[in-house]
Structure 1
Amino acid sequence: MYSAYGLRLSSEIALPEVGGSLDGPGAADIEITLGTPAGPSASATLLPLGLWVDGDRIGVDVPDVGRYVCEGGTRIVVQPAPEVEAGVLKLFLLGTALGALMVQRGHLVLHGNAFRVGDACAVVVGHSGAGKSTLAAEMHRRGHDILSDDVVPIDADGRALPGWPRLKLWQDALDRLGIDSSGYDRIRGAHAKFHVPLDRPPLDPLPVRWIYVLDRHRGPLTITPLTGAAIFTSLHEHSYRKEILVGAHRQTHLARSAALAATVRPARLDRPRGMDSVVASADAILADIDQSLSGTPGKEHHATSH
């Protein structure tokens, strides 16, 4: 039995990435089993990236990896492809499949990471390659616990649910941060991206107070408050596997987005291209958080890149 996002997971696939096994009584909230699940029916909604929605099932078919079918927010059935690497199989299980299951459970699921600030947390979102995990590593270095990386489920009360204490970092990011990659597991085959475990105490769900949309551009580092429709656009754009937000899932997503938008301080962080801006980005975000805690209204400001 494992624990993730405040839930108990039973799995027929070993998941050491999630952390130590749980002891003690208690039924599983989520079951992960091996099997041969049925594919999409004739009435299913077929989506890009091998995704599909069929009633209370969400599936993803990954060539040469396998089929994953999420059922009713409580079960994931995995059919591995022949000779697939265990690490690759789990990459999609703990990412796309588990993220889809969180959508089925009624959560707003963002593509980013969350770090602790006192009794609350900040969420950083952005497209792949924007530098989210590298920034999370810098926040961790400064003493901020990382709740979750890559997949951030937010419940109906606006709380980010803690995942497992691990980051996924490319070799160049590790080099810039002064971290030796020897001894870390590669995420996928020959790819120079690694699972990096973090030293972190168990965490409860924490209310989201700040959201930063991370982007890169050619200008100086700036933080600009988001207002009005820009908030909803950003939440949708940076939802995890937003392709599955159809039908009832879309309605829940809109309701959760509206509730979250009313309680957070959202901003866009534009930073210069290049890894050397990570320190300045962390400085700017933490300064913006300090400003909000002091009660100063948010306004656009610039920072000098390190």
Structure 2
Amino acid sequence: MGYAYSIHGLRVHVDSLWPELTAWKRHSDSGEPDVRVRLKTQLRQLNALSRLSWRHRAEFDAPREFDSVDEHGMKPRAYIECAEAEAGEYFRASFTYGRSTGIFIIGPGGADIWVSWEAAGERESLVRRGIATLLQGCVWGILLRIRGIVWLHGNAISIGGKSIILLGHSGAGKSTLSAAFAMSNATILADDKAVIVRNGAELAIKPGGSHLRLCPDSLAALQWPTDSLACEGSKSGKRRVTLADSHRAEPPKENDAQLNAIYILEPREQALRSVEIEPLAPVVGLWELLNYHCGLLAAPIDHIAREYMQLSDIAGTVPIRRLRRPDDTRWLPHTVSAIIGDLRTDAVSQ
């Protein structure tokens, strides 16, 4: 018994139904899964995995649901370790929040994820949201990289037959601008993780779910119709907005979408009074891609070299632009129009 999902071109089998897994799309495919997720890991199995010689501990950001201190004044902690075994290399991602814990163990080749968690008292719903956020976010990103799949920290959008990626650091406004595109009948291809693959002579985006994480201010500025979204609350104030049922956004895509351009979102500027788009040379574009490529995992040198070649291929194939815009949500429609206009130029329309 289990539940099938599809995300970034991978078939995922989960052993139990969690409503919190809102970023993954339910799927009817009964074929052999690419990844098996065990949310009900047996204690015997977990103990066997825990006895591996774990090493190379590295800290990483805890999910936003845990962005405050607990009742003892302790901040959440999250870290990753790796271990060698006869079957191959394992990775373990763990987080603690007071007396609540969550552990994810990723098997060799990224084919399995074992999950163990323990909630203290009334925090069970909070911890479940945190488990789901980590599984769909950081842990999934690690798994993609283990499988040799290139992804960038950004959002992917399809509009007017063309597909783009918006790159930017946390707080740059990627999700807000993506929502503005959705209000203009665009399709959201991916939020936070833009997976890129080469299909013959072209580069393409693997669809990763038609949802966004938006803060209340963004929802209010966009005047998003509340009857067309489904939200999941978080302590950070952001909400997960599912766009599949929106009457304004196009339906989510099932197939790969050709990648036409990448836009780097610079910090918004209060003094700016126009939207500016600057083409970047391939070598500068490569440097930008390296800034938005997942660097959490300490990969072997041959793995890093292969990723560098993949990013070089992207920078040499796809136009990369730097985008500057005013720090005012009233400029969102102008920003959307500027990007659509840029996509019509000869340099991008090929």
- Per the TM superposition, whether the score is higher than 0.5 is yes
Deviation at 1:80, TM superposition (A): 1.5
CA distance in 1, matches of 2:305, 2:162: 27
CA distance in 1, matches of 2:155, 2:241: 14
Q: Deviations over 1:79-110 (max 9, x none)?
A: 22324432221011001111111111211111
Deviation at 1:156, TM superposition (A): 4.1
1:81 aligns with 2:118: yes
Where structure 2 has 5 or more consecutive residues not aligned to the other structure, the ranges are 61-78, 245-250
1:213 aligns with 2:250: no
1:195 aligns with 2:240: yes
Q: Which residue of 2 aligns with 1:29?
A: 34
Q: Which residue of 2 aligns with 1:299?
A: none
Q: Structure 1 pair 265/245, CA: closer, same or farther in 2 (3 Å)? A: farther
Q: How does 1:134-149 map to 2 (within 5 A)?
A: 134-149=176-191
Secondary structure in 2 matching 1:45: strand
Selected match of 1:10 from 8, 13, 38:
13
TM-score by length of 2: 0.76
Secondary structure in 1 matching 2:207: coil
Secondary structure in 1 matching 2:129: helix
Q: Which residue of 2 aligns with 1:125?
A: 167
Percent identity (aligned): 25
Give the aligned CA root-mean-square deviation in angstroms: 2.5
Deviation at 1:164, TM superposition (A): 1.5
Secondary structure in 1 matching 2:53: coil
Q: Which residue of 2 aligns with 1:254?
A: 308
Q: Which residue of 2 aligns with 1:160?
A: 205
Q: How does 1:236-275 map to 2 (within 5 A)?
A: 236-240=290-294, 242-244=295-297, 246-247=299-300, 248-275=302-329
Q: Deviations over 1:2-34 (max 9, x none)?
A: 111122111134354146633353011111113
Q: Give the structure with higher Rg (CA).
A: 2
Higher relative CO (CA 8 A, sep ≥ 6), structure 1 or 2? 1
CA distance in 2, matches of 1:116, 1:155: 16
CA distance in 1, matches of 2:28, 2:226: 31
Secondary structure in 2 matching 1:121: strand
Q: Which residue of 2 aligns with 1:104?
A: 146
CA distance in 2, matches of 1:39, 1:130: 42
Q: Which residue of 2 aligns with 1:231?
A: 285
Secondary structure in 1 matching 2:163: strand
CA distance in 1, matches of 2:16, 2:289: 32
Q: Structure 1 pair 38/276, CA: closer, same or farther in 2 (3 Å)? A: farther
Q: Deviations over 1:242-278 (max 9, x none)?
A: 2215324422320210111121000111222233332
Letter in 1 for 2:130: V
TM-score by length of 1: 0.86
